[in-house]
Amino acid sequence: MTSITSEELTIPVNEPVLGTSELAYVREAVETGWISSDGRFVGEFERAFAAFCRRRHGVAVCNGSAALEVATAAVNLQPGDEVILPTFTIIACATAIIERGAIPVLVDSEPDTWNMDTHQIADRITPRTRAIMPVHMYGHPVDMDPLLELAEAHHLLVIEDAAEVHGAEYRGRRCGSLGDISTFSFYANKIVTTGEGGMLVTDDDALAERCRLHRNLCFQGPRRFVHQELGRNFRMTNLQAAVGVAQMERIEESIAKKRWIGQSYTERLQGIPGLLLPIERPWAKHVYWVYGLILDDTVLFDATEFARRLAARGVQTRPFFWPMHEQPVFRQMGLFLNERYPVAERLARRGLYLPSGMALTESQLGYVCDAVRAVLKV
Ligand SMILES: Cc1ncc(COP(=O)(O)O)c(C=O)c1O
């Protein structure tokens, strides 16, 4: 057994690392009174993050779900428009489409990258299709070229959900630079965090302007309280952005830490019967936002039982996403009835992720691997 001290139990699924710069910048925001969405840090964070994504514009918002809603509003998605997305994703993706009266159209996932199978998109395109929403899953980029070719051929928008993949690359191109508009989350478990937070990035000047409008109640024109469109208040505060600016100062270090966690887990867990581990395609830079595992058919229990047994050994985990076509809320709305996506259904039932937070230590990682072996009795 790898040794571990008692205070390290339970090992949390995520723990952020916040340093002295975060504290200094938040202190500055508090001391100067700039605590709402005005103040120097919001613009600084937007510029730093957009530059990191190799984009012209960054528009900070209050979370990644809001970023998706601003994106679908900014591109003017209309009732009846169809958007193609993976069924295996977080509900925020589908919500941002449905909020506009538009229709989510699903595709299944690849069994090994857990990303949307971009070869299934062509069959789902209809005259009503307006956009494709790729979602890079758990740190690994989507195979974007087939998707981008279809988008170009059919004049479709690409709304890229890069919430989980800060710094990941597809054929040398950074995730977040691959859509007409791309969104991020900065929740506490993300590679760059602001506690709660999100951002849209784009190269399109007019689209960026529409994002700024839609994060801010669509205040527009000479009479501030006279509105041409409906918007929401999705602004990020200067307090959050202060944390973000500090986090950007060590983003490369954070990505390196995540890759170390991912590669270390793989080294220690590979060869264990019953487990399917994450893969990294030759064209991908995986950032291992979280480290997922799938139980194969030789294991006689499911991911819920796996999680319970790991928890009994002091290891916290999280289940994988539950597919959109199996969501009771969407079934009640008459969506996705009789649709089946076997890969996603399997991932949901057989997958979970291990402690993968920025603060994870080598001894904790070793302990987790020992617990996985013990639960699988190898
Ligand atoms: C792929 C994806 N999109 C969107 C979101 C929503 O982000 P937030 O939790 O900041 O609202 C998440 C959250 O983790 C996510 O994983």
User: Could you read off the pLDDT of 37-91 as tens digits, one per residue?
Assistant: 999 999 999 999 999 999 999 999 999 999 999 999 999 999 999 999 999 999 9
Whether pLDDT at 1 is above 80: no
User: Is any ligand 1 atom within 6 A of the Cβ of residue 160?
Assistant: no
72 near 96, Cβ under 8 Å? yes
Whether residue 187 has its Cβ less than 6 Å from ligand 1:
yes
pLDDT at position 183: 99
Residue 15: closest CA among 375, 365, 256, 367: 365
CB 83 within 8 A of CB 96: no
What is the dihedral sign for C-alpha 163, 168, 169, 170? negative
Amino acid at 36: S
Tokens, residue 232? 């929401």
Query: Which ligand 1 atom is nearest residue 65's CA?
Result: 11
pTM of the model: 0.97
DSSP classification of residue 139: T
At residue 6, does pLDDT exceed 90?
no
Residue 39 to residues 236, 248, 273, 333, Cα–Cα distance (Å): 11, 17, 54, 42
Q: Per DSSP, what are the bridge partners of residue 352?
A: 293, 319
Report CA(339)–ligand 1 centroid distance (Å): 24
Cβ–ligand 1 contact at 60 (below 6 Å): no
- Report the alpha-carbon distance of residue 162 to residue 167 in Å, rounded: 10
Length of the chain in residues, anyone? 378
Measuring CA to CA, which residue among 241, 222, 189 is closest to residue 13? 189
Ligand 1 pocket member 86 (CB < 6 A)? no
**Ligand 1 neighbour 115 (Cβ under 6 A):** no
Mean pLDDT computed over 358-375: 97
* Residue with the larger pLDDT of the pair 289 and 2: 289
Distance CA 98, CA 92 (A): 10
Ligand 1 binding pocket includes 135 (Cβ within 6 Å):
yes
Give the mean model confidence (pLDDT) for residues 84-100.
Answer: 98
Q: Which atom of ligand 1 is nearest to the CA of 68?
A: 4
Ligand 1 center–CA 150 separation, angstroms: 26
Q: State which amino acid sits at residue 53.
A: C
- Which pLDDT score is estimated for 316? 98
Residue 355: pLDDT above 60? yes
Q: Give the pLDDT score at 9.
A: 75
Pocket test for ligand 1, best of 88, 164, 318 (most atoms within 8 A of CB): 164
Question: What is d(CA 358, CA 234) in angstroms, rounded to the nearest whole number?
Answer: 27
Q: Identify the CA nearest to 108 among candidates 121, 96, 98, 95.
A: 121
What's the mean pLDDT when you consider all of the chain?
Answer: 96
Q: Rounded CA gap, 340 and 16, in Å?
A: 37
> How close is the Cα of 100 to the center of ligand 1, in Å?
19
Q: Is the pLDDT of residue 167 over 60?
A: yes
- Among the atoms of ligand 1, which is closest to the Cα of residue 189? 14
| The pLDDT value given to residue 2 | 54
